[in-house]
Chain A
């Protein structure tokens, strides 16, 4: 388990006042869970990870790993990186080029506080390499491995000490698309099998959505929204999250009516839309209505018994294999929609756009 309390990290620049990379963030990674910090580059996610690893010394807050305080600004606790019960995989893999595959994995067993005899080292390295299916490469020089193999080697090295916590810093970003997809799956399977508490850092929303138990979306050093992948995707609580995860249509408007529960009526340039609204919005609030392209339904004729219908005409339709990417021109806005490949339309065809109220979210406008 990892507990982060009010963590703050400021990079002193020498000349300027310093850059606040992480600004008073708190979160908890439950035992055996896969927790992801997701955000654009420079959002502070890697800095957070490095503070937990002990590679950076934070300026404020507290870090508790498995019940043991490893950092606290208040009482000055700072357990050095090499004494923390943590395994880590780096973005560049950081495979030592002057060692063989075996030596790379054996290294943590030979330098740590706990020493092992050579038979144990051999056995543990064998097990770790078998976990990542590299056991037949033991005597190769590490640099002779392919990118994907180096990545797995880095994982074996991080796991060989049987750490209580695993930190992964964009481990898949240097792999090609196909391999990345497979490694996503393998990594998650391995984590499930070992039940190791894992903190994962990435800027890739697909990785975050597909692997995590919990995602924290970060921006400018703070956590914007935390929740399970489904919630992050379907119920973004801010424009930033909606924009950052997946593609989104945004219609600006003003709330005209708040109804029972969390539904509201929003007047946009292209008509009234009923949608779910974030708590705290009032009649008259300026909002953006966000709706995912795949939520939008198109009809050739005006369907009966449907609310939230807007009139428009087809802009461009692109066949992408899995779906048709079809834009619809409303009066003022252009909607991006994903339709089944069976859709037969031409540019300029009039259509009726149905926006399911449950999948439309009204969010406060951000600057």
Chain B
């Protein structure tokens, strides 16, 4: 009897159910993209030398990274930079969100899209524009203020820690703004109204209810802004390095740029930055969960309670207008102006006569510009497409397949959010220098890096739209006689489309402006626009850089507009 059962062939075989194969492949891809580089980073940070591939393990990298004379100053600089920029962008974003969402400030509606406009200004350009404005030597604002007020010395110096904080914070305000708008919107106004009906005056209501309810969200928003600043490299590279103010990201970059490159020390620094950012993200997810508890769910659409500001609403209007003019518009204008100048000069009648299209003519015949443009467009398009395809598949498995262990995929797809751009670059160098896949130095390694980094963003859009599709909608289609493919084509895909399109556009934009990963990975032929900008700015060709910046913004807008037009209506997604 026993033999009969055992002998039945194929009973215990390895023939995999195709339904299981897809998730396994997905998991494999995610492990390859997100986990393998981190492992290599960890290994590399303990290795004596990377290049000869002799695996001698040592702690000297960590000693060099964390027990040097610079350790303390780097730590303090990073801390001040990150918390300063987080607090500043949070404050600006919150005031903007509050004025536009919850008050009767005049014309507040038109400021909502305007507040998001800086998203299209790449971080490198943001830094360059503010150097144009606030440089102690030639910054327009300094020159004007000195002339106007008869000052002896320039009032602002962008090459300082406050300067870095300002430049980075201003670029990050749209994110803070969108997150706080969402927070204000998700708050049931009757929570405040019931406080008033309980006899609490406006101040008591604000202190005891509004503030307390916003606190968890505000905490998590501050945290995410802190982590994002810590990971950023634009302001630290363009402002911090010339000013000799080093933070973790610039230390990693400098270790890589040493001769010979000190991969070990860079790796050790990267591991530290990764841990910091991972802790930040972990705290953030905990805080948002905490915040969710506070959300009261009702089916009603809220009519948010608006504060009557009285005469003060003109103060609010003044704030919004000056923010838009000086913080949003001015950087664009200064880049635009500079792009027509032969050399950098303050706006004057004299300078007006020198305006010309020379920079653009120069770029027309400038090979590296066209190569970089091509690379950037190809990379951004491919990244957005691959990332959205991959994440829709993963999101479908996670939220629809009900397979055991699907949450592992969800987790794996979330991991990259903790990887700072420059750490990603460092890890991929260590991975592909050690691995015999000849993609280092090509745009393909950049593609891998970008896709990996933006998987979490793709996941957010994809899972958002997939969760909205109630499975009964698909079941109704198959009950009407539609095949699996017809169901997918006629029901699932059209319902998914708005979310996927929004995700695609967002990833396209962030890939197109990506800097901190590319700075380590993009070399020679694989140079992208942001790196070209950085290199040429370092070489002092500042007005050509301005022209590249203008063309970069124009390209970005054109492609987004074309894509938008062909894929139909999409809402602004945060």
Contact = CB atoms under 8 A, between A and B. Distances in A.
Contacts of A95: 296
B68 interface: no
B74 to A, nearest CB: 39
A94 B199 contact: no
Nearest to A143: B293
Contact of A157 (B193, B198, B300): B198
A97 interface: yes
Contacts of A157: 194, 198
A94 B201 contact: no
B193 A55 contact: yes
B296 A92 contact: yes
A98 B294 contact: yes
Nearest to A113: B199
B197 A96 contact: no
B285 interface: no
Given A97-B213, A98-B212, A107-B208, A81 B193 contact: yes
Contacts of B194: 88, 90, 94, 96, 154, 157
B553 interface: no
A108 interface: yes
B188 interface: yes
Candidate in B199, B200, B204, B296 with the most chain A CB atoms within 10 angstroms: B199
A203 to B, nearest CB: 13
Candidate in B208, B294, B295, B299 with the most chain A CB atoms within 10 angstroms: B208
Contact of B188 (A53, A82, A92): A92
Chain B binding surface SS class: helix
A83 B305 CA distance: 18
Candidate in A91, A98, A158 with the most chain B CB atoms within 10 angstroms: A98
Q: Contact size class for B?
A: 20 to 34
B200 A96 contact: no
B79 interface: no
B188 A94 contact: yes
B299 to A, nearest CB: 8
Contacts of A154: 194
A174 B305 CA distance: 22
B190 A92 contact: yes
A113 B198 CA distance: 10
Given A80-B201, A111-B195, A90 B293 contact: no
Contact of A111 (B204, B296, B305): B204
B298 A97 contact: no
Nearest to A95: B296
A53 B199 contact: no
Contact of A86 (B197, B205, B209): B197
A216 to B, nearest CB: 22
Given A55-B193, A98-B212, A111-B204, A92 B298 contact: yes
B309 to A, nearest CB: 15
A96 B190 contact: no
A225 B358 CA distance: 79
Given A81-B193, A108-B199, A111-B195, A174 B213 contact: no
A49 to B, nearest CB: 11
Contacts of B473: none
Contacts of A92: 188, 190, 296, 298, 300
B191 A111 contact: no
B138 to A, nearest CB: 45
Nearest to A57: B308
A326 B196 CA distance: 52
A161 interface: yes
B31 to A, nearest CB: 39
A35 to B, nearest CB: 18
A83 B198 CA distance: 9
Contacts of A96: 191, 194-195, 209, 212-213
Interface residues of A, number: 32
A112 B197 contact: no
Contacts of B209: 96
A111 B208 contact: yes
A87 interface: yes
B370 to A, nearest CB: 47
A94 B193 contact: yes
Contact of A107 (B198, B293, B295, B298): B198
Nearest to B295: A97
A52 to B, nearest CB: 11
B198 A108 contact: yes
A24 B294 CA distance: 40
A96 B215 CA distance: 14
A86 B194 CA distance: 11
B193 A90 contact: yes
A111 B195 CA distance: 9
Nearest to A160: B198
A97 B210 CA distance: 11
Interface in B249-301: 293-296, 298-300
Interface string A149-166: 000001001100100000
A157 B299 CA distance: 23
A97 B197 contact: no
Contacts of B200: 82, 107-108, 111-112
A228 B109 CA distance: 46
Contacts of B295: 97
Given A92-B190, A98-B213, A174-B298, A158 B197 contact: yes
Contact of B293 (A88, A97, A174): A97
Contacts of B198: 82, 107-108, 111-112, 157, 161
23 contacts: A14-B109, A55-B196, A80-B196, A82-B198, A86-B197, A88-B197, A91-B300, A94-B190, A94-B191, A94-B193, A94-B296, A96-B213, A97-B293, A97-B296, A98-B212, A107-B198, A107-B200, A108-B198, A111-B200, A111-B208, A157-B198, A158-B197, A161-B199
Q: Which 4 A-B pairs have the closest CB atoms?
A: A112-B199, A108-B198, A94-B194, A111-B200
Given A97-B296, A111-B201, 15 more contacts: A55-B193, A55-B197, A81-B193, A81-B196, A81-B197, A82-B196, A82-B201, A82-B204, A82-B205, A90-B194, A96-B213, A98-B213, A111-B198, A111-B208, A112-B200
